[in-house]
Structure 1
Amino acid sequence: MKRLDGVNTLLMTPYTESNEIDIHGIFRQIDRILKAGATSVVVQGKIGEYDTYTMDERRDTAKAVVEYINGAAPVGVGIINATFDDGLAVGRIAAESGADYVMSRPPIDGDSHDYFLRLADIVPVMLYDQGLRGEFSIHDDILPITQQTENIIALKISGIPDKNYEAKQFLDIPVLCGWDLMSLLAYQMGSDGVISGSATLVPEHEVRLYDLVREQRWDEARDLYYGKLVPILNYCTFDPHAYSVCKYILKYMGVIENSDVRPPNPDAGEARAAEVYEVLKRVGVLEPEGASLGR
């Protein structure tokens, strides 16, 4: 598998009117992502409503995505706030489905160091630096794990981007920004790319930003980031409504048919959904005629 430098994308999970996973809505997201030139996709991440999946849905969705992409890009499977045993079980599902890696938070129980070593024996791992029990230290937590296995293939930093400095000093793996609103600052601090939900919403913008940064064209990068990305991120990244807002965006753009979320995630509400529509028009994401505001 190629290194995960660049733009790695977190897929949303659309549902049908009968509350089944709309796999074709996932495929349409993938089409846009691959066309934009993104590095990889991750299914069942936090923004993909990981907690609402059954184990059968995890298996079926991972397998379907791997088969659909058919080697065009690496496929990751999320493991978010799982127990020690459930996290390893999802790792086995990912491996059996043919996924290239998992993106895993630390488990909510048990020894995290042991967990990541066991998980890395099953499938390559993008290690997530934050969990319900706190934030991992680069030197004290993450470095010792990478010294014991070569199967930690990337690090997702979702805390302050200043951690990039230490990560780049000690680690020889891609260091990725997992906090969408901090991506430009993270690039300035040495980040090798992003692992991002906004990259699923506007993949061409995120890939363009990465390219501008690599070419050291910082003023153009700032114009894109502050002019196009930040207005969208202002509405789509804050819990508990982030899941719903992101789906409204994809629906307005014609990528998915239904903006519903599963409980306990709440609907964005009329005001928030209407305002993000106005944002999309003003930053030029929607065509001039726009799209229907109906659900």
Structure 2
Amino acid sequence: MKLYKKDTPLTFSRDAIRFFFAANFYFLGKLMGIDFELESEYLVLGSIILFGPFFCGWACPFGAASYFATRVGNKLFPKLQFNIPQPYDKWLRMLRYPLLGFFLYLFTVKGVSYFGDHIEMYKSTAFSWNFIKAKHFAVLLIPLFIPNFFCKYMCFQKAGYNLINKVIKICKIKRNTETCIDCGKCDRVCPMQVNPSSKNEICGDDCLSCFNCLDNVCPSKADALSLELLGLKINPGLFSALVMTAYLAATYLVLFVYQW
């Protein structure tokens, strides 16, 4: 199965941003021991509500590290790459929702702060502490063989974002069923196996907003997929540039100026 399409200016730009966030977390935080995250959960949640899962595909350090691990695995172990077949894949993805329920229990009943220090959150119980230990293994090693393993099967935040975007559909990918020729090219380049060709719209369906399916994949005679913001079509490249600029500016203000 082809996991990634040919690189384009959009994918180069996206991957450069992904590398920045992954390197910031793993190089500064893990290798140099600097306790700092270039991230505010308030802004992440706000971006999910306003712009869909853009954070997941562009600014999440874990998602980015998993993505690069997958690309390395494709180069080093091309014959060992595989996706978990159905129906096992479907049921394994559902495991994130009990995890989401567990962490919601910590936040609402036990009073553990989700918007505070993440390390303290994970240290609050033995299970959550073991989860964060397994998290790095699932992000850096397993994706060498199973693409996007953590995002698909372990990320409880992604489970929560899916639910949010199922209700709040400000930003979504639309498929024109009248022009779609069912070529399946968009399905082959989707890293999360969302299968855009089988849906009328994609919002909260495990999509990462990587925009592979929108990046010159659909045949020009069909032009069936488009990105919509508040019902208006918008160019994915322009959208990405505007949202990333706004996200970085807001993050700077929150972390360094107002220190909320």
Return the TM-score normalized by structure 1: 0.26
Tell me which protein shows more helix as a share of its residues.
Answer: 2
Return the TM-score normalized by structure 2: 0.29
